[in-house]
Amino acid sequence: MTLCCARFRRTHPEDKIKNAKIIFVVGGPGSGKGTQCEKVVEKYGYTHLSSGDLLRAEVASGSERGKQLQAIMQKGELVPLDTVLDMIKDAMIAKADVSKGFLIDGYPREVQQGEEFEKKIGAPSLLLYINAKPETMVKRLMKRGETSGRADDNEETIKKRLDLYYKATEPVIAFYESRGIVRKIDSELAVDDVFKQVCQAIDNLK
C-alpha cells in the first residue's frame, strides 16, 4: 500500500510528454502557418496545436478569462506567457498517448516563451520558419478577414500584429538558428509548393 502510493506520487502528467517530438512553427501573421500545419497533419499524422486556436476556444467558452484574452487579442497584443504555455502543455498531455509528434503553431512569439517552454516541456527538434513579405501577409489577412470572423483580422490590428512580429518574434528565429534547427520556408509560393519545402525539412529529421 505504502509503496503503491509512493509510486503514484512520483508519476507526473508532464512525464508523458518528456520525450515528445516537437516542431515549432514560426512566422508572421498570415504567413501560412495554419495552412501548412493542416497539410502536415494529413500527411504525417502529427498533432497540430495552434496557440491562437487554443486562445480563441477559451474566448468562445465565454469564461471570465476568455473575456480578458479577447480584449488583448483584439488589440493585436500578446497574452500573458503563463496562460498560453499552460494551455499548450495541457493540450499536449491530453494528446500524448496518441501523438506521433507535435506541431506548435504560433509559439514561441518571443524568446522568453521559447526558454520557458524548454524548462517546462522540452526542446524542439525543428523550427519551421514560414516566411512571406509583409505586403503578402497583409493582403492574405485582409482576404481572410472577409470570412474569418476574427476580431484581429482588420487593417488596424493587422498593422500592430506585424510590428510586434518583427520586434518580438523574429528574434526567436535568430535564437534557434545558433542551434542549427531552423529551416526557412519560402511562403510566397502556391500552397503545394510551400508544402514541398516543409516536407523536405520534416523528412530530413528522420
Residue 113, marked binder: yes
Residue type, 69: L
Cβ pair 80, 48 in contact under 8 A: no
Q: Show the binding pattern over residues 21-60: x = contacts Mg ion (CB under 5 A), - = does not.
A: -------------x--------------------------
Which of 138, 187, 197, 198 forms a contact with ligand ADP (CB under 6 A)?
A: 187
CB 125 within 8 A of CB 18: no
The reply to whether 114 sits near ligand ADP by the rule CB under 6 A is no
Is residue 51 close enough to count as binding ligand DAT by CB under 6 A? yes
Q: Of the candidates 46, 102, 107, 176, which one interacts with ligand DAT according to CB under 6 A?
A: 107
Select from 24, 140, 165, 202 the one that contacts ligand ADP (CB under 6 A).
140
* Partner in contact with 140, chosen from ligand DAT, Mg ion, ligand ADP, none, beta carbon below 5 to 8 Å by kind: ligand ADP
DSSP class of residue 80?
A: P
The answer to whether 126 and 201 have CB atoms below 8 angstroms apart is yes
DSSP string, 7-33: HHHH--GGGGGTT--EEEEEE-TTSSH
Interface pick for ligand ADP out of 32, 76, 108, 124 (rule CB under 6 A)? 32
Angle between helical axes of 51-60 and 64-74 (0-180°, round to 10): 130
The CA angle 204-131-166, to the nearest 5 degrees, is: 130
Contacting range for ligand DAT; rule: CB under 6 A; set: 14-22, 72-80, 117-125, 172-180: 72-80
Whole-angstrom distance, CA of residue 26 vs CA of residue 172: 9
Tell me which residues touch ligand DAT (CB under 6 A): 29-30, 33-34, 50-52, 55, 73, 76, 78-79, 84, 106-107, 109, 113, 152, 161
Query: Which positions make up the binding site for ATP?
Result: 30-35, 144, 189
